[in-house]
Amino acid sequence: MTTSADTAVVCDSSQYLPAEMIAAKGIGVVSLYVSIDGEQQRELGVTDYDDFYSRLRQSSNAATTSQPSVGDFLSVWQPLLDAGKEVVSIHISSSISGTFEAANQARQRLIDEGGHGERVHLYDSEMACGATGLCVLAAAAAIEAGGGPDEAIARARQVRETLKMWFAVDTLEYLRKGGRIGGASAWIGGALKIKPILTIDREITPIERVRTRSRSLERLRGYGRQLHESGADAWVVQHIQDLETAELLAADFREMFGGPPAFISEIGPVIGAHVGPGLIGIGAVSWSLLEAG
């Protein structure tokens, strides 16, 4: 049986788990790329989110994003494979990013070149941001509990099957400019002034149209209550350039759920380029999926 000592977890940079959590759990990260006005950067290289989002607001062009290269995956996986480990690599939905396909290509190259690619186990989270992050934490917990790749992916799949994260965005304008609007495209036109609530279920999917920011936040609170009543207790809040609102929601949720968050974090440039500042996202799963015991 392959156990925790033999298995490592890798993900891409679009999950936005707190950096200290990634480091503490020994999770490898493959960076995506973002470009504003032709200047491309590795997402992991963008450390000043305030500066990035200021440039995004000021740019007249849509920011663009791109998946990691095959070489980017190999540079993270290879040291783990060389150490004799199995690798569980969990990624953003293949319906909104080419990252998972690039991972498949990297794995196949390793197989073709005798580089132990058969020890790389890929999982398409079919989600993004904190939802993918929760899949990653669940996989890491399964491995910490003594499981191997099969148990890690099974635990990540349980998160996928039980979780939807809702996102309240301030405007559809960035999604429209970036062409990543998915099922919410029907709301484009005269609807750019609405404050939509979206989820990612393979692609960006509309939940509800509301007219005001306060109403969208109230709907997120209502969804939080629904999650709590369903038995979920490991809650998360993510935001883009709106820490104040995130902290207000977090205070409500601490009381509502009766405990601390799984994490609170800011969403970075790759997803932020497509949704813009002002996003607030929430979700919750059972702590049992995130704990080794």
Mean pLDDT along residues 145-152: 96
Q: How does the average pLDDT of the chain come out, rounded?
A: 91
Domain range summary for the chain, segments of one domain joined by + = 4-160, 166-289
Which is higher by pLDDT, 202 or 5?
202
**Sign of the four-CA dihedral 42, 266, 130, 264:** positive
Q: Does domain 166-289 have CATH number 3.30.1180.10?
A: yes
pLDDT for 181 equals 53
Position of tokens 């099957």? 161
Mean pLDDT along residues 238-262: 97
Q: Which CATH number fits domain 4-160: 3.40.190.10, 3.40.50.10170, 3.30.1550.10, 3.40.50.1970?
A: 3.40.50.10170
26: pLDDT confidence band, cut at 50, 70 and 90? very high
pLDDT(4) > 80: no
pLDDT for 16 equals 97
Asked whether the beta carbons of 43 and 271 are under 8 A apart, the reply is no
pLDDT for 173 equals 76
Instruction: Quote the tokens at residue 5.
Output: 């000592």
pLDDT for 53 equals 94
Q: Is the pTM of this model over 0.75?
A: yes
Question: Which amino acid, residue 246?
Answer: A
pLDDT for 52 equals 94
pLDDT(193) > 80: no
pLDDT for 2 equals 46
pLDDT for 174 equals 80
Give the DSSP per-residue string, 224-239.
HHHHHHTT--EEEEEE
pLDDT(188) > 70: no
Q: What angle do CA 136, 139, 141 make, to 5 degrees?
A: 110
pLDDT for 277 equals 93
3: pLDDT confidence band, cut at 50, 70 and 90? very low
Query: Mind listing the pLDDT tens digit for each residue in 105-144?
Result: 999 999 999 999 999 999 999 999 999 999 999 999 999 9
pLDDT for 182 equals 54
